[in-house]
Amino acid sequence: MTQRDGFIGGFFAGAIFGGIVGGFLGTVLANRKERDRSLEDKSLLDNTPISKISAEETIEDARRSLEDKIAQLNLAIDDVRQQLGSVNGNSAEN
């Protein structure tokens, strides 16, 4: 029975100690994250016109890149059609 009493006492002591340490660490990390987030939000508000312009430029660059890839795919499709047409003996000219 003595070991069982020691186990129960140690279990409760560990649970209380772990709860205190976990609560303290959770509070510290949450405050740090909130502080970092507020600093980030403040910097975004200060640079709104610049960030808006860079976002528009990024979107425009992505659009151009996609258009180039679509053109490359269309060329590849046409090339494959011509190759298949010559293999099957069909005329590729329409």
Sequence-ordered list of residues with C-beta below 8 angstroms from that of 91, at least 6 positions apart, any chain: 85
- The Cα–Cα gap between 2 and 11 comes to 14
- Name the residue among 36, 56, 65, 89 with its Cα closest to residue 44: 36
Would you kindly state where each structural domain of the chain is located, as residue ranges?
1-46, 48-94
Sequence-ordered list of residues with C-beta below 8 angstroms from that of 92, at least 6 positions apart, any chain: 81, 82, 85, 86
Identify the residue whose tokens are 């269309």.
74
Per residue in 68-94, pLDDT (tens digit) is 999 999 999 999 999 888 877 665 454
Per residue in 4-40, pLDDT (tens digit) is 667 888 888 999 999 999 999 888 888 888 777 776 6
